[in-house]
Amino acid sequence: MILKKLNLFFLIFIKFFFFTTLSYGSNNDDCRSSSFYIKNISVDLTKSSIMKARSEAEIKAKLIGFKRLIKRLTIRDKQIKINNSEISQLVNYLKINKEANSDKRYKANFDICFKRMSVINFFRNKKIMYSETYRETIAVLPIFKGLRGVVIWDKNDVWYKKWKQELMLDDGLVKLDLAEGNFYLNRNLNTKSLTNFDKKLIQNLIKNEKTNSLLLVFAEPVLKTDGKTYLLTYAKFYNKDGDLENTIYRNTTPLKKTSSVFDIKENLIRKEVMNIIDSIQKNWKKDNLINTRIYDEVDLIIPINSNSSTILMNELLFNDKVIKVKSTESFLKKGLIKIENEIIYYNKKTLKTFDDISRGLFGSSKNLTYKKNVGITQKDISIWPFILEELESLPFVLEVNVISLSSSEGRVNVKFMGNKKTFFQAVSEKKIIFKNLKSGQYILANE
């Protein structure tokens, strides 16, 4: 009976903590989800009056922002038909970063926050699949393998410069950062190490960039035996262990002149950089597409494995306000503990005491005296609010319900749009891993 009441308390506490947290943060959640926040939209218009210029500039900014939002979240090649009035209904607010004007000219830079649920409903009505899950940062190292040798981290190299320029402009769901390197890596990166793809060196590169993956992007002009010249471009993806996972892009472009191997046109270089970036963004979205016409749900089991214990160092009398123990090292700063059948709350602790205690919680039996060396235990459920909050924060999750909670585990039912593959991919990006029990249930596998 006591255990049931204790579990009920935990359940009520978790739901209260969880839903009050959500209600506090959900009203303005659209642009906390940065998937729906478009930055740096520049507009410059001259009209018959400043009022007209400003008004049309805002309309134009919304249209530009909407097109960039569509490009970020969907894989559609066809343009979506929508009028200015419909776009305005999808906009939460415009933020003016800077502006300047004269009598007839208006020049400004905007950020636009789109209404997340309005956009999702728009996708649903148009039967458009979309993705809004961000991927962790990938470090990108451009490498130019010319006839005169290998070029890396050369600010004057066109391949490097175009990557730097385009990555600054890219605002897709996959965050790509130019690898900066360091003195040691610059010295040890050479033709031999890159040709053999030295695993240790790749690991050091990833560690230096503070990410979990590395993309080596190559441009290589070649003269083939048929006398024709080509530009080879390819991208190799390495995981945090330094292992090559796959080649995610490969292209061969004929060059117009034989001499072009020594002077590749900038527009061709830029095109290949953009093609690689687009390929990465599109593949990520394909793996994380949310089908707004499909609804699914999963049952998740979250074990409560942490069990702290200690023993009384003195007798505990019925009117004591401090519990003296051998150690409180593994216990929460404040929380519930159990002595035999009694549940006790402590508001603070020292290294060897639980202080400011409340006895006999939830109708639990309270002994007049507990003798020295009696055991004290605590179940740590602190992971619960974290897991629930992370699940609810997933962009396509519709509902999270705590089904049951015992002394060893809890069950949560999650309802969402899309399929289970998309759901678990998004969960894993948050470093939360579930193992399939082959019974329609999944158990938290994080150690």
What integer pLDDT is reported at residue 213 of this predicted model?
93
pLDDT 10s digits, 131-166: 888 888 999 999 998 877 788 888 889 999 999 999
Give how far Cα 311 sits from Cα of 2, 215, 338, 377, Å: 22, 54, 11, 9
Tokens for 356, please give them: 């400011």
* Whether the Cβ atoms of residue 115 and residue 30 lie closer than 8 Å to each other: yes
For position 382, what pLDDT does the model report?
64
CA nearest to 139, candidates 35, 271, 242, 219: 242
Phi and psi (nearest 5°) for 315? -60, 145
Name the architecture of domain 2-27+290-304+383-444.
Answer: 2-Layer Sandwich (3.30)
CATH architecture of the domain covering 135-287 = 3-Layer(aba) Sandwich (3.40)
What's this model's pTM, rounded to 2 decimal places? 0.67
Number of H helices, E strands in the chain: 11, 22
How many CB atoms sit inside 10 A of residue 236's CB?
A: 20
Q: In whole angstroms, give the CA distance from residue 227 to residue 238.
A: 34
Residues 396, 416 contacting (CB under 8 angstroms): yes
Radius of gyration of the chain (CA): 29
- Per-residue pLDDT for the chain (447 aa), expressed as one digit of tens each? 444 444 444 444 444 333 333 332 333 455 766 889 999 999 999 999 999 999 999 999 999 999 999 999 998 767 888 899 999 999 999 999 999 988 899 999 999 999 988 998 899 888 888 988 888 899 999 999 887 778 888 888 999 999 999 999 999 999 999 998 776 666 666 555 555 667 888 888 888 888 989 999 999 998 887 778 899 999 999 998 888 999 999 999 998 877 666 778 899 999 999 999 999 999 999 888 888 788 899 999 888 766 789 999 999 998 888 999 999 988 888 888 889 888 888 989 999 999 999 888 777 888 889 999 999 988 766 677 778 888 888 878 889 988 887 767 888 999 988 888 888 888 887 778 888 887 778 988 864
Where would I find the beta strands (DSSP E) of 164-228?
174-178, 213-223
48 phi and psi angles, rounded to 5 deg: -70, -25
Angstrom distance (rounded) from CA 178 to CA 157: 14
pLDDT value for 2? 41
Give residue 138's pLDDT. 94
Please name the residues in contact with 445: beta carbons below 8 A apart, sequence gap of 6 or more.
433, 434, 435
* pLDDT computed for residue 39 by the predictor: 93
